[in-house]
């Protein structure tokens, strides 16, 4: 922890405020995740990552940057990580999943704004998230009006590039998105000094697609009559996917799924007798002390 404190201080984080966030995390993790019964043994890797969420991966990014590497922070799955990876850079998700950051965002946005967007601003401007400190450039995407406004505000504090996401699926919209990807490629090449060649892009596509395939395998496991892993743990893994090393992540998810296959064969069910509920539309989860609430609840 002492090493993490030094790292956080070197990143210019607000250590006093960050300590307040760290103080509630163990209880929240215990109440939400560790309190579950009959969890797969291979969840130990993801539990470790969660327990040291602001230390383990950030320390790797620190070393990467010390060696001249560039880190690009992204907010949504629409940003093509493949282009970033092909330039020998790292793409990391910028977290906004804690209610802790919302008050900080309300200094810049109205209280009735989406909690996710307010949390993103709070995490940056309150200086309590190392990922926001480690990204050399932010990559945004125009998925909603709230984010568009947030990007204007963030751009006053950190280099930011916005990809204009088409709102329709006409032929000209696909062409427009292709041009947006080309603009991202030019930006990434300029920032890193590395050329995105066809060969490197093909290899990066294989890497990112392997991560996606591992996640799809995980999601498919929950289609079984005997559910071998909870939705809570699946959500945790999905969140870790945004910032973990993609090759390591894919390997660990596939090892977990090997265990889940055996649990299905053995008739293990983590939720016997419980109903399956499908929630359609966007649902962002926020951690509030020892509970998990939806963005709709948080905004109410």
Residues of the chain with pLDDT under 50: 1-2, 286-300
The answer to whether the predicted template modeling score (pTM) of the entire model surpasses 0.95 is no
What is the total count of domains within the chain?
A: 1
Name the residue range of residue 90's domain: 2-299
Amino acid 282: pLDDT: 59
Amino acid 177: pLDDT: 97
The CATH code of the domain that includes 239 is 3.40.50.11890
The DSSP symbol for 277 reads -
Q: Report yes or no: 155 and 53 within 8 Å, Cβ to Cβ.
A: no
Q: Give the pLDDT confidence of 184-202 residue by residue, as tens digits.
A: 999 999 999 999 999 999 9
CA distances from residue 3 to 6, 10, 59, 131, 243 in whole angstroms, order as listed:
5, 11, 9, 16, 21
């Amino acid at each position: 922890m002492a090493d993490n404190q030094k790292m956080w201080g070197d990143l210019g984080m607000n250590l006093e405020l960050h300590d307040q966030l760290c103080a509630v995390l163990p209880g929240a993790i215990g109440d939400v995740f560790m309190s579950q019964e009959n969890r797969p043994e291979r969840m130990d890797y993801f539990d470790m990552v969660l327990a040291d969420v602001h230390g383990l991966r950030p320390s790797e990014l620190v070393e990467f940057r010390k060696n001249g590497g560039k880190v690009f922070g992204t907010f949504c799955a629409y940003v093509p990580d493949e282009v970033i990876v092909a330039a020998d850079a790292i793409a990391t998700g910028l977290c906004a999943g804690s209610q802790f950051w919302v008050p900080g965002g309300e200094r810049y946005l109205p209280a009735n704004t989406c909690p996710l967007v307010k949390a993103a601003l709070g995490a940056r401007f309150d200086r309590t998230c190392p990922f926001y400190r480690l990204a050399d450039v932010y990559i945004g995407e125009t998925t909603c009006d709230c984010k568009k406004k947030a990007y204007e505000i963030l751009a006053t504090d950190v280099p930011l590039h916005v990809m204009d996401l088409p709102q329709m699926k006409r032929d000209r919209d696909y062409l427009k998105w292709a041009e947006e990807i080309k603009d991202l490629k030019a930006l990434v090449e300029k920032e890193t000094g590395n050329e995105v060649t066809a060969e490197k892009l093909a290899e990066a596509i294989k890497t990112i697609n392997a991560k996606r395939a591992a996640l799809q395998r995980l999601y498919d496991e929950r289609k079984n009559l005997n559910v071998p892993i909870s939705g809570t743990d699946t959500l945790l893994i999905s969140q870790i996917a945004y910032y973990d090393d993609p090759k390591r992540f894919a390997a660990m998810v596939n090892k977990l799924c090997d265990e889940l296959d055996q649990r299905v064969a053995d008739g293990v069910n983590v939720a016997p007798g419980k109903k399956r509920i499908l929630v359609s539309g966007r649902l962002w989860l926020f951690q509030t002390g020892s509970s998990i609430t939806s963005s709709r609840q948080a905004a109410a």
